[in-house]
Chain A
Amino acid sequence: MKKTVLICGFLILVLLCGNLVAATSALPGGVLRWMAYNTRSTRVTYLAHLAEELPDIHMQYDHVPVDHFTVTLSVQLLSGKGPDLIEGGGETRLLASMDRLLDLTDEPFLGQYRYAGLAPFSVDGRVYAVPLQSWFEGIYYNKAIFAEHGLAPPATFDEWIELHKKLREAGVKPQTMGAQSWASLMKQSIGIVNNEFYARPENAGFDAAFDRGEAKLAEAWLPAVTLWSRMIDEGCLTPDMLDYSDEQALMEFASGEAAMWESGPWSIGEILRINPHIQLGMFPFPTVEGSTGWLVGGPGSALSINVDSPNMEAALRVLEATATQEAQLALIADNMGEPYLEGMQVDFGPVYAGCADAFALEQVYAPWTAAWTFGNPIVEAYGKALQEVLAGSKTVEEALAEADAVNAHMRAALEAIE
């Protein structure tokens, strides 16, 4: 009997301690918990700037890998233990639809931003996040290899395919790709979709219709993705790339074993670390007609506030402090990207000179982050299906239909809470 009492007492003590810890772990006022899918290393200068500007606010920066970010964040928010500040991206519309984010529409600092940066984080005309900076992805190329074989960046899609052939004939691997990750194929195909579909004014309303479940990728995108699939048919992308990781592809490109690789500014540090003497350039995805090509990208991560945050005022002060040129320059110091602050432009440097026209024309777009509520699961299904297209076991039409099916599934999941 005594033992039973002892064991029960011990269990009650454990439970009480658990509650005590939970109760005392609530953050005191002025201390902000920040959850982000970007690593702290990409925010060091910016966080130091905030610490200087807001010395009374202590911030705790929690990095959650992007694969688990949406679910981890949603679970924390629903259980009432969510972070005060959320540095997310594609899930902003979803969380806003679930009434989990603070409506920022009437905050004065929103006036500092261009509409292009706010639109992806708006639902029914209300704004729920402010953009930190843009991201973009194009085709890196090794200028020395191109020069050695008398080649120039392609002006058209056909020239791009020809370029692959010429490099192959010269004994150079034209393009490498870490296609073990579904994201690489997905982004490259959407680069061509940007050129041949989104560039046309008549398709401006497509994403909104798709998001409402009223339009399908399998119909609208089919011609553009079929065009891109020539990259596979012509041997520019090969099935052996399906077991290449991004790291292997980066290594192959950086060491000069491949002439082209699709990526963005976040890779440049590692490329230069491996090969400090590499002569780098980047060009946008070439169009059929030869007009200025598009890049894949858009507003990257954005800051939003948990609607249940006990530190709302401090969180708003962080957003206010972010809407300044100094804060934006601090962001750029760790990660190259275009700021969305009115009147602020940055020089991306000589590596990205080939993309200057695309930047000037604002031809940078990624529909899944810019406009789709369920962007991440849809592009994952699409990217995995494209791996099967590269392997030869699926058609482009089937791949697009799979993405449509995920959109339908996820919409069904959301409909009940709307």
Chain B
Amino acid sequence: MLLMALPAFIGFMTFFITPAVMSFGYSVTNWSVYRPEPSYVGLKNFQTLFSDAQALAAIEHSIRYALIMTVVQNTLAIFLAVLLNKKLMMANVLKTIFFLPAVLSILVVGYLFKFIMTSAPSGMLNSAIGAFGGAPVNWLGDPNLALYSVLATQVWQWTGWAMVIYIANLKSIDASLYEAARIDGAGPMQVFGRVTLPLLYPATSFNVLMSLIGGLKMFDAVYAMTRGGPGYASETIMTTMISTGFKAGRNAYACAFAVVFFVVVFTMSKAVTFVLNKWEAAIT
């Protein structure tokens, strides 16, 4: 039986574990395309990284992006799931419509919204705002807005996907629990807060972790829509890491970035898991 897993194990070791361990090793060297034989430099790359304002901004953008993405996407998805779980005439059609963006490539969505959000006269979003008498907005060129513009497109794309998982979870909740709650005089908000939400724990824990990790590793939408700009306003950990490693050739520094990325993902995932476990303990 164990032999059956051997090919997958070899692939996993070769293409995931070994490169990951090598990244940790290279992060404490001075390896670059200009210095092919690395030597040990201790924590110098990490010192440089934590004194580099752009690198710190990229880490901060990724964390902010992931947190907002997680909260907004899951709140909207739960709202839609509860709404469409009712016996509505168009429920199935609406579920399909909300889920559809998830089948598109992130890059395609990115380029599509770049076209929609541009401040050029052809920009559809600003044209619509203008039709209602509003002033045009520099969605992708304003450093205070660019990251949120990208985020909005990703919320649009993935909320339907999360909604489907919540709906699957909702289907598994015993209807008698709702009936009992109503007999006890609970209003709709109480039913949601005391019955629906606690029993959505399995879907919530999965969706929250997925959107958190997906948000932290965001690259493609940013690349398609803003290229990390204007300036460094929408750079994320991944865009900076790729630009440092593959464009500037500072390999060891990029590895240090990868280690920081691992620590950020690990810490945030652990924190969220801890909260979710506490929640699970409280409802069981």
Contact = CB atoms under 8 A, between A and B. Distances in A.
A and B form one complex: yes
Interface string B237-261: 0000000001111100000000000
A70 B249 contact: yes
Q: Is the contact region of chain B dominated by helix, strand, or loop, or is it mixed?
A: loop
Interface in B15-41: 30, 32-36
Contacts of A7: 3, 6-7
Nearest to B4: A3
Given A180-B227, A248-B120, A414-B34, A388 B232 contact: yes
Contact of A241 (B121, B136, B141): B141
Contacts of B138: 239-240, 242-243
B141 A180 contact: yes
Interface string A391-418: 1011000000000000001100110110
A75 B33 contact: yes
A243 B139 contact: yes
B120 A413 contact: no
A67 interface: yes
A71 B3 contact: no
A391 B233 contact: yes
Given A243-B117, A414-B34, A377 B248 contact: yes
A248 B229 CA distance: 17
B142 interface: yes
Interface in B93-138: 114, 117-121, 136, 138
A96 interface: no
B120 A252 contact: yes
Contacts of A241: 141
A149 B24 CA distance: 64
B120 A242 contact: no
B143 interface: yes
B231 A243 contact: no
Nearest to B137: A240
A397 to B, nearest CB: 15
Nearest to A181: B227
A151 interface: no
Contacts of A242: 138, 140-142, 229-230
Nearest to B6: A7
A180 B250 contact: no
B226 interface: yes
Contacts of A200: none
Interface on chain A toward B: helix, strand, loop, or mixed SS?
A: helix
B124 to A, nearest CB: 14
Interface in A379-393: 380, 384-385, 387-388, 390-391, 393
A69 B138 CA distance: 32
Given A3-B3, A7-B3, A78-B36, A244 B232 contact: no
Contacts, number: 109
B247 A98 contact: no
Contacts of A393: 143, 231, 233
Interface residues of B, number: 37
Contacts of B139: 243
B81 to A, nearest CB: 34
* Residue from A4, A387, A414 whose CB has the most chain B CB atoms within 10 Å: A387
Contact of B249 (A74, A243, A388, A391): A74
B97 to A, nearest CB: 28
A68 B30 CA distance: 21
A146 interface: no
Contacts of B114: 243
Contacts of A158: none
B121 A390 contact: no
A239 B145 CA distance: 12
A393 B233 CA distance: 10
Among B3, B48, B141, B232, max chain A CB count under 10 A is at B141
Given A240-B138, A242-B138, A242-B140, A71 B231 contact: no
A244 B119 CA distance: 8
Interface string A30-61: 00000000000000000000000000000000
B29 to A, nearest CB: 11
B64 to A, nearest CB: 16
A71 B247 contact: yes
A257 B120 CA distance: 11
A67 B247 contact: yes
Contacts of B226: 180, 243
B15 to A, nearest CB: 14
A240 B141 contact: yes
Contact of A416 (B30, B118, B141): B30
A74 to B, nearest CB: 4
A302 interface: no
Contacts of A98: 34
Nearest to B39: A416
B34 A71 contact: no
A388 to B, nearest CB: 3
Contacts of B30: 413, 416
Interface of B: 3, 6-7, 10, 30, 32-36, 48, 114, 117-121, 136, 138-143, 226-233, 246-250
26 contacts: A7-B3, A11-B10, A67-B247, A68-B246, A70-B33, A70-B249, A74-B249, A179-B141, A180-B226, A180-B227, A239-B141, A240-B138, A242-B140, A242-B142, A243-B117, A243-B120, A243-B138, A244-B141, A377-B248, A380-B247, A388-B230, A388-B232, A390-B230, A391-B233, A416-B35, A417-B34
Shortest Cβ-Cβ A-B pairs, 4 listed: A242-B141, A388-B231, A243-B141, A243-B140
Given A70-B33, A70-B247, 4 more contacts: A68-B247, A240-B138, A243-B230, A388-B143
